[in-house]
Amino acid sequence: MAETHDLPWRRALGSTSLDLRRSWQATTEGLLNLLFPPRCVVCHRSGDLICSACQDEIELIRPPVCPMCGQATSAPRLCPSCRRTPLQIDGIRAVAYLEGTLRTAIHRFKYSNTRPLAAPLGRLASEYLTHNHLPADVIVPVPLHPQRLRERGYNQATLVANEIHKALDIPLMENVLIRVKSTIPQVGLNALERRENVEGAFRCTDSGLKGRSVLLVDDVCTTGATLEACSIALRQAGLRLVWGLVLARESWHQP
């Protein structure tokens, strides 16, 4: 995984063993794929983790969108929600809505330990970024609380961010943001409660990023409250632009 704080001599020393490890990983993966060909997590057809037919069913969110929260709108202007309560982030974009193929794939990715799904999901995000430029000097994944990270064993946002980093060669900084407050699940909370729940939950640990642009990466967003809380922490540390990219936006109605 990328480590942008690495010193050049450490990178030079580490590169050979890293190359060996990568080629060994690729060989092992190749052998495993031969012995146990992957099945599509949606339709269970043998071949790929997300087969091309299921992938074709993902409907990308296309313009016009609300420039702030990225929801599909009838015209490129702020949606009623962002007009009422603007988010404290430069903008959020989602590849698609959380439905069908993407809903199943993200669910498996998060809750069934299907880490290899990071590759097709990360590719989806990278392709989105190739066609929709967002300012990004560095990519920062939305952190999980350490307790959640221990339970799950991985942060799905970091895995996706790492795929974007590899595809587009944008530096990845995974420890810039830390989660300093444990929060209750956002499900069932209204917009205001969601904001209050994650308020002050994040802290930026790196003051060397002043004036830079950050692209926050997460798997799903609903009201954008979590990305906004990350953005507030990054802005307090002097970051110039903070954008958020998520794989999927959840359709959301005020409970």
Which spans of this chain sit near Zn ion (rule: CB under 5 A)? 40, 42-43, 51, 54, 66, 68-69, 79, 82
Least distance (Å) between residue 197 CB and Zn ion: 20
Nearer to Zn ion by Cβ, of 51 and 142: the residue is 51
**Cβ–Cβ < 8 Å for 77, 67:** yes
Least distance (Å) between residue 81 CB and Zn ion: 5
Least distance (Å) between residue 185 CB and Zn ion: 23
- Work out the number of other CB atoms within 10 angstroms of the CB of residue 30: 10
User: What radius of gyration do the chain's Cα atoms show?
Assistant: 19
Taking Cα atoms as reference points, which of 200, 179, 198 lies closest to residue 189?
A: 198
Q: How far apart are CA 240 and CA 215, in angstroms?
A: 11
Nearer to Zn ion by Cβ, of 92 and 157: the residue is 92
Nearer to Zn ion by Cβ, of 212 and 249: the residue is 249
Nearer to Zn ion by Cβ, of 54 and 96: the residue is 54
Least distance (Å) between residue 99 CB and Zn ion: 15
Angle between the N-to-C axes of helices 156-168 and 118-131, in degrees from 0 to 180, rounded to the nearest 10: 50
Phi, psi (5° rounding) for residue 206? -125, 115
Q: Which two tokens stand for residue 203?
A: 């802290």
CA-based torsion, 127, 133, 138, 144: positive or negative: negative
Least distance (Å) between residue 93 CB and Zn ion: 11
Least distance (Å) between residue 223 CB and Zn ion: 10
Nearer to Zn ion by Cβ, of 66 and 201: the residue is 66
Give the CA distances from residue 151 to residues 1, 11, 145, 219, in Å, rounded to whole numbers and listed in that order: 20, 31, 10, 18
Nearer to Zn ion by Cβ, of 3 and 48: the residue is 48
Tell me 79's DSSP state: -
